[in-house]
Structure 1
């Protein structure tokens, strides 16, 4: 039975929304260069450095390896000390890495700068700690809050990617990345002043902007306990990392994410080369990639809103539907390999990608609570790392060996179908036998 907590609404802007805005702006600029932008950099980088596509793609795998190894530590630090300082350091390092790309002239320096320095920056500044900062400030509106951040992240492929492509055509990839680095540094003040280091209970507030009717005089422990009761209204309980890993649901989610995680980086990295190999100009190919990201935007927002309103037991099925839309897009392109079907593929893939992205983090929050959100998410990232390393290199190697991406896309479609089936079995876990003390660290 839901536990009722008397609340009142504040009229001023809830601080959690400033965290959402900051994370969104960081993603809007940063991912336009690092994630979506790398597809535009792929061919000129490979040509300038004399590398094959498989070797050039390999830096993406190194980034994922570094991210997977770093994620548990980043998550642990975010849960223990708060996200603000971690994000600030990460954004600074990301800007430094972009700027250092100007001096890259070999495979070794390319792998060191992009695969290590840039990766460290993004994994600290724009990944698990940002999501944790948002997730800790919201419960009933968590899906919506994360979806707004994801929408702004998606706009990086619509707004920032065309800018990156234009800069690339005018000034080359070195100057373009220096501009990206300067932009990251200009965002550092937002990171420090608008991301809060603690959950709202430490500031006398309840999640979502709800406040108890107590005149603001309760101590922190009482407010934290009120926050636990507030979360219980949507059947959310707190798990530690150890407790979460004792549930079968977490292992199923990790497996499904691993299968799906082989598809996303491959499509993002090789999408533009796939189209240019079909005779499409780089600008038009970039536009098609932007279309995919643009179509993900309604999925990102609607998926988050649905995640807030759906019963906890339905979230896995909604996630499976989003994966299915992506799978249908792949199947259509594989059946009729033409430019129009490539556009259909990007449209459907974008819609499903956006919805899945919006549901995944809220699902983890609803299943395992806020206390260990970043630590659990970081551990999951580590276990998902191996397949994320394999996928981009495998797709690049397949192209180098066969001159086509089709064989790799067939394998990726099968893996996506496996993820769809698996996630349906991730039932909500039962509450832990031992109640988690949220006033203590994990």
Structure 2
């Protein structure tokens, strides 16, 4: 009897879904440290070494997100059909190899190729496969489980300080090699512990019998819906969520790509100090991911997500007005928790609106249709920085998008399958 069977069948042991969450946290820390937020550390060294513009360098992330977004629906369908484990092996191996290639690039076009390949690998080996597994393993505690899972991304963001230290002392190429080693010798071996659904181990979501799990919260609203991708696309809520998610992706641009350069170029900090501030901001997102995930299982998840987007908009607007380090703690205290909370809730609301059976496919479709924000965000902010010789206008544009996203989520309603064509 293997590890999974032993842990899941012994009555005194923790529900196996939490072991999958734990594996996901470790994978998220690695992805967060080196890929999701690590590019901010590489940004200035690459800008100097490759002799390019900020808009061109922002285009690397933009096209990588385009690649990831185009693949997302296919990746989601494959995960739903074949399970996350096989896709994780393929994706994590691809990302590891690409970080090795990153360590030897010498031209801008090479950087574009490598990051597009990393985006492809990340679509299969990033957060989506584990999120699909967690969404299937939990029902009543889904939002808090996803919150804990995504806390790993926040912890990975705080690990940017470690990446910055390696880069400062040994160079960005060494950092890329260290990233590859983490993928090969830590991430990939853990994949064997991941199972797609609790039914694979003769269990039920949350460890609760099916008949009890599928009971209702109220007389009018079932605890679980199951919509097909076609039904999701036919619902107004899908397109409102797409607008909100596109707006949120611009925040990721600010936090992951431009936060460290902003601190260095506009506020005059050194690279390690800038990485420390960025890391602390992301560390503050960890309690936000967990707490808002927990509350999301109790209160209206739609209103909570709208509120977190609104607070992010305010925090980035404040960020655009900061002229000295003394004001930095103010936007950090607002941005960190709200950014983390929205990261958890945006995953949970998809499962809440559309169910777990097609979660991977529908979340992939959402990523596909929010491509304008994901792709144009880094390029637009980079262009505004180049044009206005500072980050203020770019950050104000990002805040405006977030205000629109907060409104979109607020007016979105959970679909009624009976009113949608089959």
TM-score by length of 2: 0.92
Aligned equivalents of 1:306 and 1:204: distance in 2? 29
Q: Alpha-carbon deviations, 1:345-403, whole Å to 9, x = none?
A: 13211111011111111111111110000000000000011221111111111222221
Offset of 1:252 from its aligned partner? 0.9
The aligned residue for residue 285 of structure 1 is: 274
Residues 99 and 176, structure 2, Cα contact 8 Å, conserved in 1:
yes
Aligned equivalents of 1:192 and 1:32: distance in 2? 19
Does residue 294 in structure 1 map to residue 283 in structure 2? yes
The aligned residue for residue 108 of structure 1 is: 109
The aligned residue for residue 202 of structure 1 is: 200
Residues 32 and 157, structure 1, Cα contact 8 Å, conserved in 2:
yes
Q: Alpha-carbon deviations, 1:283-308, whole Å to 9, x = none?
A: 11111101110111111000110111
Does residue 267 in structure 1 map to residue 263 in structure 2? no
SS in 2 for 1:103: coil
Does residue 373 in structure 1 map to residue 356 in structure 2? no
The aligned residue for residue 354 of structure 1 is: 340
Unaligned 5+ residue runs, structure 2?
1-8
Q: Alpha-carbon deviations, 1:105-164, whole Å to 9, x = none?
A: 0011111112x2211121210132221011111101111111111112211122x21110
Alignment of 1:320-399 (within 5 A): 320-399=306-385
The aligned residue for residue 303 of structure 1 is: 292
Offset of 1:195 from its aligned partner? 0.6
Does residue 154 in structure 1 map to residue 137 in structure 2? no
Offset of 1:424 from its aligned partner? 0.8
SS in 1 for 2:297: helix
Aligned equivalents of 1:399 and 1:349: distance in 2? 21
- With over 3 angstroms needed to count, the CA separation of the structure-2 counterparts of 1:400 and 1:435, relative to structure 1, is closer
The aligned residue for residue 45 of structure 2 is: 44
SS in 2 for 1:187: helix
Aligned equivalents of 2:200 and 2:182: distance in 1? 32
Aligned equivalents of 2:379 and 2:396: distance in 1? 16
The total of aligned residue pairs comes to: 408
| Stretch moving more, 138-147 or 393-402 | 393-402
Offset of 1:430 from its aligned partner? 0.9
TM-score by length of 1: 0.88
Offset of 1:190 from its aligned partner? 3.7
Offset of 1:267 from its aligned partner? 3.1
Offset of 1:249 from its aligned partner? 1.1
Q: Alpha-carbon deviations, 1:314-341, whole Å to 9, x = none?
A: 2111111111221221233344533222
SS in 1 for 2:103: helix
Alignment of 1:126-275 (within 5 A): 126-158=126-158, 160-196=159-195, 198-210=196-208, 212=209, 226=210, 230-234=213-217, 235=222, 236-275=224-263
- With over 3 angstroms needed to count, the CA separation of the structure-2 counterparts of 1:81 and 1:434, relative to structure 1, is farther
Residues 157 and 294, structure 1, Cα contact 8 Å, conserved in 2:
yes
Residues 88 and 188, structure 1, Cα contact 8 Å, conserved in 2:
no
The aligned residue for residue 31 of structure 1 is: 32
Residues 291 and 347, structure 1, Cα contact 8 Å, conserved in 2:
no
- With over 3 angstroms needed to count, the CA separation of the structure-2 counterparts of 1:281 and 1:162, relative to structure 1, is same
Aligned equivalents of 1:316 and 1:266: distance in 2? 24
SS in 2 for 1:157: helix
Aligned equivalents of 1:178 and 1:354: distance in 2? 28
Aligned equivalents of 1:130 and 1:29: distance in 2? 14
- With over 3 angstroms needed to count, the CA separation of the structure-2 counterparts of 1:334 and 1:176, relative to structure 1, is closer
Aligned equivalents of 2:188 and 2:372: distance in 1? 35
Residues 40 and 165, structure 1, Cα contact 8 Å, conserved in 2:
yes
Offset of 1:189 from its aligned partner? 4.6
Offset of 1:280 from its aligned partner? 0.9
Offset of 1:46 from its aligned partner? 1.3
The aligned residue for residue 123 of structure 2 is: 123
The aligned residue for residue 389 of structure 2 is: 403
